[in-house]
Amino acid sequence: MAYEEACKLKHAYSVATTAPNFTHTPPKADWEIKNNTTYLYYVPNETINGVRFNKIPAVNTIPLIADMTSCLLSEPINVADFGLIFAGAQKNISIAGLTIVIVRNDLLKNEASPVIPTMLDYRTHVMHDSLYATPPGFNCYIAHKMFQWIKAQGGVEALYQINRQKAAALYEYIDESSFYTCRVEGDSRSIVNVCFSIVKSELEAEFVKQAKEHGLYALQGHRTVGGLRASLYNAMPIEGVKALISFMQDFSKEHSK
Ligand SMILES: *Cc1c(COP(=O)(O)O)cnc(C)c1O
């Protein structure tokens, strides 16, 4: 979707893709970065198929732009590796409607193209201390509360360790099981969106229904790909993952007879 939008403004091209399967990130050897490329855009964690870049793409001098909507504050990052980071607030930070942008100062020196509306020119927001128009105050208040909560948990590093444990426990159970399966390759697996399916896929609707009865919600995969998905953002405690695994064990026993 970002690619299609970029095409409306400038000449955009795809550096690499694993479409239509998305079972791993595209290997570096397959990337084709053309001369005169202004920036490289990528999504470190993709939520629909549960695919994650486990390394930051090394692109030398080309500014790297990252949509971190689903992963900002779920793991430590080196901000200096990026030209621009942005994230919608709705996963780990606040309510939908607030967007966080971290941009390198030197990238703000260039005049924006005249077709860019003033409101979408990042320099406008820098010049006005993010108050060019009235910001969504309640969303900012919730973000502030969330930042305090993250600090109280021991910070992003502590949450990252918990996030890794949550994902590892669930993938380990899925891999051991012959009832459930995960098609994403090991080193490309998201630590916050665990996408999986039941080998007998006709049981998935019943799985979602019974899970709800056990207080386990939102396990349906994204409508465009189907299957099942457990999103394990910062707000999900490890107890939630344990409860899910326990339910999955019971469900598989009941339906393997
Ligand atoms: C969650 C997410 C979306 C979807 O955003 P919604 O506003 O919740 O539909 C898009 N892009 C990325 C990178 C995301 O993580």
pLDDT tens-digit profile, the chain (257 residues): 899 999 998 899 999 999 998 999 999 999 999 999 999 999 999 999 999 999 999 887 899 999 999 999 999 999 999 999 999 999 999 999 999 999 999 999 988 888 899 999 999 999 999 999 999 999 999 999 999 999 999 999 999 999 999 999 999 999 999 999 999 999 999 999 999 999 999 999 999 999 999 999 999 999 999 999 999 999 999 999 999 999 999 999 999 97
* φ and ψ of 84, to 5 deg: -150, 135
pLDDT of residue 132: 96
How far does residue 132's CA lie from ligand 1's centre (Å)? 25
Question: Is the CB of residue 43 below 6 angstroms from any atom belonging to ligand 1?
Answer: yes
Nearest CA to ligand 1 atom 11: 69
Q: How far apart are CA 247 and CA 201, in angstroms?
A: 17
How far does residue 236's CA lie from ligand 1's centre (Å)? 18
Do residues 211 and 219 touch, judged by C-beta distance below 8 A? Answer: yes
Question: Hey, how many other C-beta atoms are within 10 angstroms of the C-beta on 52?
Answer: 24
- Give pLDDT tens digits for 156-192: 999 999 999 999 999 999 999 999 999 999 999 999 9
pLDDT of residue 110: 85
Question: Is the CB of residue 210 below 6 angstroms from any atom belonging to ligand 1?
Answer: no
Instruction: Please choose from 51, 69, 190 the residue to mutate so as to test ligand 1's pocket, defined by most ligand atoms within 8 A of CB.
Output: 69
* φ and ψ of 217, to 5 deg: -110, 165
Do residues 32 and 58 touch, judged by C-beta distance below 8 A? Answer: no
Q: How far apart are CA 10 and CA 5, in angstroms?
A: 9
How far does residue 215's CA lie from ligand 1's centre (Å)? 24
pLDDT of residue 124: 96
Nearest CA to ligand 1 atom 3: 69
In which element (H, E) is residue 246 found?
A: helix 238-256
How far does residue 70's CA lie from ligand 1's centre (Å)? 7
Measured distance between the N- and C-terminal CA atoms of the chain, rounded to whole angstroms: 44
Nearest 5°: the CA angle 167, 168, 173 is 100
Residue type, 242: K
Instruction: Please choose from 45, 48, 68, 70 the residue to mutate so as to test ligand 1's pocket, defined by most ligand atoms within 8 A of CB.
Output: 70
Question: How many Cα atoms are found within 13 Å in the side-chain-facing hemisphere of 173?
Answer: 21
pLDDT of residue 111: 87
Per-residue CA distances from 241 to 29, 68, 167, 247, 257 (Å):
36, 23, 8, 10, 25
* φ and ψ of 164, to 5 deg: -65, -40
Nearest CA to ligand 1 atom 10: 69
Residue type, 202: E
Specify the ligand 1 atom closest to the Cα of 71. 15
Q: How far apart are CA 33 and CA 25, in angstroms?
A: 16
Q: Can you tell me whether residue 91 is helix, strand or coil?
A: coil
How far does residue 124's CA lie from ligand 1's centre (Å)? 24
Strand 51-52 versus strand 64-67 pairing type: unpaired
Whether the predicted model's global pTM rises above the 0.85 cut: yes
